[in-house]
């Protein structure tokens, strides 16, 4: 019984660490490109202008990342 509980605890801690690393690794940006072909979202962009550059060929749309809605100050570099 102790082994099972210890295993569950280790899994929970590992999952929490992995989630924190993913959130801080830059993969969740403030702006997302929505692909025009399959509507997939790629949220890697910190600035709106970087998102716009990524879709210069007209293959998608830039939208604010819904998961980071409260963190959307305007770019001061515009």
**pLDDT confidence of residue 23:** 47
pTM of this structure: 0.53
| Gap between the Cα atoms of 23 and 19, Å rounded | 6
First-to-last C-alpha distance (Å) of the chain: 60
Instruction: Give per-residue pLDDT as tens, 18-77.
Output: 444 444 444 689 999 999 889 899 999 999 999 999 998 888 999 999 887 665 555 555
If DSSP codes are grouped into helix, strand and coil, which group holds residue 13?
A: helix
Q: Give the number of other Cβ atoms within 10 Å of residue 2's Cβ.
A: 6
């Amino acid at each position: 019984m102790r082994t099972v509980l210890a295993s569950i605890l280790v899994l929970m801690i590992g999952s929490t660490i992995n989630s924190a690393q993913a959130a801080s690794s830059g993969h969740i940006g403030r702006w997302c490109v929505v692909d025009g072909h399959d509507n997939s979202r790629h949220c890697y962009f910190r600035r709106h202008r970087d998102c716009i550059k990524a879709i210069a060929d007209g293959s998608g749309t830039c939208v604010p990342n819904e998961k980071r809605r409260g963190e959307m100050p305007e770019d001061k570099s515009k």
